[in-house]
Amino acid sequence: MLRYLIRRSRWLMLAAMTASIMAGFCGVLLIVQINAALTADADTRTSIAWTFALVAVGLLCSRMASAVLFERLGQTCLAHLRQFIVRRVMAADLRRLEQLGGPRVQSALSEHSTNVAQFFVSLPVILTNSVVVMGCLLYMAWLSWPIFLAAMAVLGLGSLGYHVAHLRAIRHLDGASREQDRLFGYFRSLTEGAKELRLHRGKREAFATDVLGGSIDTVRRLRTRGMSLFVMSNSWGQFLIYAFIGLVMFVLVTDGAGSNRVMTGFALVFVYMMTPLEGLLMNIPRANLAKVSAASIEDITRDMPTAEPATSAPVERFERLTLRGVTHRYYHEQSDDVFELGPLDLEFRPGEITFLVGGNGSGKTTLAKLLVGLYPPEAGEIGRDGERIEACNRDAYRQLFSVVFSDFHLFERLLEAPRAELDAEGNRLLARLHLQHKVRVENGAFTTQALSQGQRKRLALVVACLEDRPFVVFDEWAADQDPVFKEVFYREVLPELKRMGKAVLVISHDDRYFHLADRLLRLESGQLSSTGSLDTADEPASTADTSR
């Protein structure tokens, strides 16, 4: 993931890295100049002053350039990353998305993406400081070889301790990241379940303390453990630096020729090196957190296609839709059982109203999702006028349908582009549904969505009518309509859609209106128990399409 992002912004990255390395290089040069000035005579000090000034300006410019470029890189990467996730999620199989759940996707788009972008803010600090530390070590090597070797030994010891702590810390951070995905789901319950929580004190307290509180606490505990391990290894690193200073000052530097220059050199280098070293040790954990978040994003998007499959032009009409031996299965891990729908053999034609009835959980919505191409069939095939529907033409096939699901979503805009006729047509439909005093269509959008559930469902019906597709599916649309509107829906809207030549599939429990259907399909535990025109409604499923 990080590699992908780096590849996408390679030039910006290169420029930012060059500026960081320049800043580090100037930093080391500055310390060399200071040490030289301390031990130089008056003449050479003047020429050193010019070099010093030049290097100081270089340091200022390169530091500024590096910080600005990396900030830009961070924001660019955050935008790329969000677009990358959004595109994959949009192209993903609906079933895969349902299995993942909204909270994980939300977590990837918010916290994980921000953590990854943070990596690019930490990177210049890591790079600049690495160059400063490396430069300082080289300067030490130039001052005294044995001391340089001792520094390398200390560095090795520090890295070993850091590596051990790092492995354990990453385990904790991984756990925290998984728990955080769950936490996002609980955050959603906090607003979506607001009514239930206010009405039931016991539930509210259990949710606040055990569920939400427990999850917040787990994230806190695991993050604290992970980050503490990093901080402890930082302290270990700092301790080694002081131990090294002591070793150099009191043991390794002996009295002798040039020892003064070596001593001041080392003192300066150490003082100068402390801040970059601390910066390095502080920013490496942030980079690790970014790695954990990048792995989470990769995990979520792994099985998702990079883009929607290249697809043919949208299908606009049909004469015959067929389902042959179509099946779909849900596996429920907790109860280790499987719900199987089908095999189904069905046929749909324009201008026909089909009612789909059956008990709760009998598979009606699943059948609708299969029919409209939201789930690819696990076995069997769906065909349109003899053409088999496969991955390459499934999106084009889906454009045949307008669906109002029972858990419908209303977007802010009605359709992709506002147009004058759309507003007029929308307002005409709103008036027919007695909503003209509540809401209007202006510039291709509803003026408000703050309506009752039944009224919002009428808005969804308006959207479906405006889409003007040849096949319309209603999943328990009338369930939350008053008796007057049930009448309007079953006796006016459906016949009008039929007159317009549209195929209509109505999932319904309203047995008062079953006689208005051209055909009644009855589902029981995933199997069609009867199908046919109303007078043949009780024929066995095997006679399904011969009833035409």
102 binds ligand ATP (CB under 6 A): no
Name the residue nearer to ligand ATP (CB basis): 236 or 339. Answer: 339
Q: What binding mask, one character per residue, do residues 43-82 give for ligand ATP by CB under 6 A, x or -?
A: ----------------------------------------
Closest CA to 514 of 488, 543, 534: 534
Name the residue nearer to ligand ATP (CB basis): 361 or 540. Answer: 361
Instruction: Assign 402 to helix, strand or coil.
Output: strand
Name the residue nearer to ligand ATP (CB basis): 98 or 467. Answer: 98
Closest CA to 368 of 517, 358, 308: 358
Name the residue nearer to ligand ATP (CB basis): 186 or 339. Answer: 339
CB of 513 to ligand ATP, least distance (A): 16
Q: What is the dihedral of CA 87, 89, 91, 94, to 10 degrees?
A: -170
Q: DSSP letters of 338-398?
A: EEEEEEEEEEE-TT-EEEEEE-TTSSHHHHHHHHTTSS--SEEEEEETTEEP-HHHHHHHH
Distance of CA 324 to the CA centre of its chain: 36
Integer Cα distance of 222 and 361 in angstroms: 39
Binding span for ligand ATP by CB under 6 A among 137-145, 276-284, 342-350, 357-365 = 357-365
Integer Cα distance of 543 and 74 in angstroms: 63
Among 102, 246, 309, 361, binds ligand ATP (CB under 6 A): 361
Interface positions, 169-188, toward ligand ATP (CB under 6 A): none
339 binds ligand ATP (CB under 6 A): yes
Evaluate whether 469 touches 314 at the Cβ level (below 8 Å).
Answer: no
Q: What is the dihedral of CA 385, 390, 392, 398, to 10 degrees?
A: 60
Residue with tokens 């034609």, as numbered in its chain: 349
How many CA atoms within 13 Å lie on the side-chain side of 352? 19
358 binds ligand ATP (CB under 6 A): yes
CB of 321 to ligand ATP, least distance (A): 19
Interface positions, 230-259, toward ligand ATP (CB under 6 A): none
Integer Cα distance of 455 and 408 in angstroms: 13
146 binds ligand ATP (CB under 6 A): no
Interface positions, 311-330, toward ligand ATP (CB under 6 A): 330
The DSSP H or E segment spanning 275 is helix 259-301
Angle between helical axes of 42-91 and 10-39 (0-180°, round to 10)? 160
373 binds ligand ATP (CB under 6 A): no
CB of 362 to ligand ATP, least distance (A): 4
Cis peptide before 418 (omega within 30 of 0): no
Binding span for ligand ATP by CB under 6 A among 55-63, 175-183, 272-280, 356-364 = 356-364
Name the residue nearer to ligand ATP (CB basis): 266 or 477. Answer: 477
Name the residue nearer to ligand ATP (CB basis): 360 or 546. Answer: 360
CB of 366 to ligand ATP, least distance (A): 3
Name the residue nearer to ligand ATP (CB basis): 279 or 358. Answer: 358
Binding span for ligand ATP by CB under 6 A among 56-64, 218-226, 360-368, 491-499 = 360-368
Using DSSP bridges, classify how beta strands 353-358 and 503-507 pair: parallel, antiparallel or unpaired.
parallel
Among 9, 33, 283, 362, binds ligand ATP (CB under 6 A): 362
513 binds ligand ATP (CB under 6 A): no
Length of the chain equals: 548
Integer Cα distance of 31 and 133 in angstroms: 12
363 binds ligand ATP (CB under 6 A): yes
508 binds ligand ATP (CB under 6 A): no
CB of 360 to ligand ATP, least distance (A): 3
Cis peptide before 305 (omega within 30 of 0): no
Q: DSSP letters of 168-180?
A: HHHHHHHHHHHHH
Among 191, 254, 360, 453, binds ligand ATP (CB under 6 A): 360
CB of 338 to ligand ATP, least distance (A): 9
Integer Cα distance of 267 and 250 in angstroms: 12
Name the residue nearer to ligand ATP (CB basis): 409 or 499. Answer: 409
CB of 330 to ligand ATP, least distance (A): 3
Comparing every residue's Cβ against ligand ATP, the nearest one is: 361
Instruction: Assign 418 to helix, strand or coil.
Output: coil
Tokens at residue 507, please?
Answer: 């999932």
CB of 339 to ligand ATP, least distance (A): 4
Strand partners, 324: 381
Among 366, 402, 508, 530, binds ligand ATP (CB under 6 A): 366
364 binds ligand ATP (CB under 6 A): yes
Integer Cα distance of 163 and 109 in angstroms: 30
CB of 503 to ligand ATP, least distance (A): 19
Instruction: Assign 228 to helix, strand or coil.
Output: helix
Quote the DSSP letter at residue 1. Answer: -
How many residues sit close enough to ligand ATP to count as binding (CB under 6 A)? 11
Binding span for ligand ATP by CB under 6 A among 4-12, 358-366, 381-389, 512-520 = 358-366
What residues line the site for ligand ATP (CB under 6 A)?
98, 330, 339, 358, 360-366
